A and B are shown apart, each in its own frame.
Chain A
């Protein structure tokens, strides 16, 4: 009995355990629901899964199912980000426990009951529990924002290495707070239309509305909501990476005000989509410009830090260019987290900006289904890039070392980027080939994309199996992590 209690304590009370559970839930959902589309559907795996598990895939409910699926995954990602924040930023222990407990019950309810409702037939109790879970996640967010309140005296800082106001307000903490508060307000832009449309179960995907010349305020709110939520999760992950790498100095002092302003302005832009659609994009560009610049500063600092730390370890005083590059890429986890932020510009931001600039000249000449592929492709890539950064940080947290750390890190970097690059070429294929000549390019990009994603999933599965096996060992890594967590608390 004690053995079980200890393991439950580890899995649901320590940051590492909670993160492990959430990653495992996402991995399970991804593996299971990934079998319902793409190549596995083509190979007939979907039909087998549907028959075996008695899934209820009514054609007219596809959009509703997808909405619940990605909300379920998003809630788990938000929970992981929250665990990281509550462990990285100083706050009272009871605040940390309360926030983590609330969001854990919330995301697990949303995920388990939501997916059961969506794919297992419509039992309305399950739907109620799904909404209850989403509400708990929101409530945990309120608790988090309150705990992050940057004006509290005990969280003011004097260290001149970090961004702060004259009165000592920690601007990094303020950036976390701005991100959290903006996220909470942005929730309403999804929740209100969700209640409105969901009440009559008129579910639709935002990408299905893009060419409608006249959109209702509720439809515009959905479009604003999905964009800002993903963007703010990306901001949260960038801030977490900054804390992980102990981002400080001149670059940090320049970046943090930009993160704060960027988060607020970007959110305002997304909210303004409803009443002032015509000017909303300009505001969004300004906000995202600030955030991208702040992220760039973080990458510059981080790469410099990785190089200097490694060279110091090697005791190299005057390094050649090659030695510097070798030092930069020595730790694939820390390098990977920063590299993915750079790579994102080619596959997400770059594509988005190009699309916005050339919308009428290029993308609106294409049939709507092609435009839709670009839209869904580039936000899937953003979601997946965020997931890889979480995996890098978790790999570091869980203490991967030596050859395993290298294999894990480089496996994720190379194969995820192979997949993202292939999907980007697939999305933009009409720039290079006509519809009549596209078969070869489609084959290549789909195959490379599938190989990349499948390999990342195999790496993730290996990590999960290792941690699962470890849980059965009496003095496994989990027990050390539990002791570490308890000693931190005391």
Chain B
């Protein structure tokens, strides 16, 4: 009995030693040199799609943002869109109008009716913005980190506010893996310093733990930060963070389901979730510290 008690005590000590605080310790600002305002051109033409590299084609050229939308960019949008009345604050939520989806009544399908829908929640502990009653500002140190905790409605509204749109899944995948069907944007193998994923030992995991924190957009560009050497992990078309860091909302609305799909994997996922064809999905009102977005044009 004594041995069992001793063992349990040791276990408890071991476990408590591994617990970490969820409180945010802001990181020092890190400039990556990658411009979040930049766009990458993706040419029309064929590419290999999906896990089985099925030949596919997009018959038009398009552009996608080189990085995810950042906290700084999103706060600029929030301040402008609130002033313009495009979105409203409702308690601790930001909401905006959405015209609704066709409903097919398929099993598990939820009806998305026309009306005001959630864009983001202001009191979520994962949010990296400050709001002083009138103006939004990014949390210091997180200015160039990807904006998270935005629902699909919020991401779509952001892109459309500037006359852009969310990329379709197909566009996203082509932009991520290029013509020749790489598993990851940079190739077919993944190393710890290619991307921000679960237990990838990046410098931000030391702050929060293995589930990690977001890294600044464009962080994995071959530079060394505080002794941490990254690999240049841009996609063939020059996009950064197309694997890891945060999942990215895509535009498609499919018949018979209310789910919206995300691509790219996140800081909280094992590396196989970062493969370019891997999908995640959730309702359009879902938000998470692991989900962000970028726009297409």
Interface residues of A (CB under 8 A from B): 37, 42, 58-60, 62-63, 200-202, 204, 211-214, 278, 359-360, 364-369, 434-440, 442-444, 447-448, 451
Tell me the interface secondary structure of chain B in the complex: loop
A148: min CB distance to chain B, Å: 39
List the 10 shortest-distance A-B pairs measured between CB atoms, nearest first: A436-B126, A213-B256, A59-B183, A439-B209, A436-B125, A367-B282, A437-B22, A213-B257, A440-B19, A443-B18
- Decide if B22 touches A439 in the complex (CB within 8 Å): yes
B127: min CB distance to chain A, Å: 8
- Decide if B286 touches A367 in the complex (CB within 8 Å): yes
List the B side residues contacting A435 at CB < 8 Å. 126, 268, 288-290
A369-B280 contact given A59-B188, A59-B275, A60-B183, CB 8 Å threshold = yes
- Decide if A365 touches B275 in the complex (CB within 8 Å): no
In the complex formed, the residue of A with least CB distance to B290 is A435
- Decide if A448 touches B254 in the complex (CB within 8 Å): no
- Decide if A211 touches B19 in the complex (CB within 8 Å): no
A364-B125 contact given A213-B256, A369-B273, A443-B209, CB 8 Å threshold = no
Q: Count contacts on B: residues with CB < 8 A to the other chain.
A: 53
Tell me the interface secondary structure of chain A in the complex: helix
Our count of residue pairs bridging A and B at CB distance below 8 angstroms stands at 110
Interface residues of B (CB under 8 A from A): 11, 14-15, 18-22, 51-53, 104, 106-110, 124-126, 183-184, 188-190, 199, 208-211, 247, 254-257, 259, 262, 268-270, 272-273, 275, 279-283, 286, 288-291
Beyond the given A213-B255, A367-B288, could you list 16 further A-B residue pairs with CB under 8 A, ordered by the A residue number?
A62-B272, A211-B259, A213-B257, A214-B106, A367-B247, A368-B259, A368-B282, A369-B269, A435-B290, A436-B125, A438-B22, A443-B15, A443-B18, A443-B20, A444-B18, A447-B14
List the B side residues contacting A448 at CB < 8 Å. 11, 15
B204: min CB distance to chain A, Å: 12
A279: min CB distance to chain B, Å: 12
A444-B289 contact given A213-B254, A434-B125, A437-B22, CB 8 Å threshold = no
- Decide if B22 touches A440 in the complex (CB within 8 Å): yes
- Decide if A213 touches B211 in the complex (CB within 8 Å): no
Looking at A42, A63, A367, the one whose CB has the most chain B CB atoms below 10 A away is A367
B62: min CB distance to chain A, Å: 25
In the complex formed, the residue of A with least CB distance to B4 is A414
List the A side residues contacting B19 at CB < 8 Å. 440, 443-444
A447 CB contact (under 8 Å) in B15, B104, B188: B15
A369 to B262, CA, bound (A): 11
List the A side residues contacting B270 at CB < 8 Å. 37
A414: min CB distance to chain B, Å: 9
A365-B286 contact given A213-B109, A436-B125, A439-B211, CB 8 Å threshold = yes
- Decide if B15 touches A436 in the complex (CB within 8 Å): no
In the complex formed, the residue of A with least CB distance to B281 is A368
In the complex formed, the residue of A with least CB distance to B266 is A369
B262: min CB distance to chain A, Å: 8
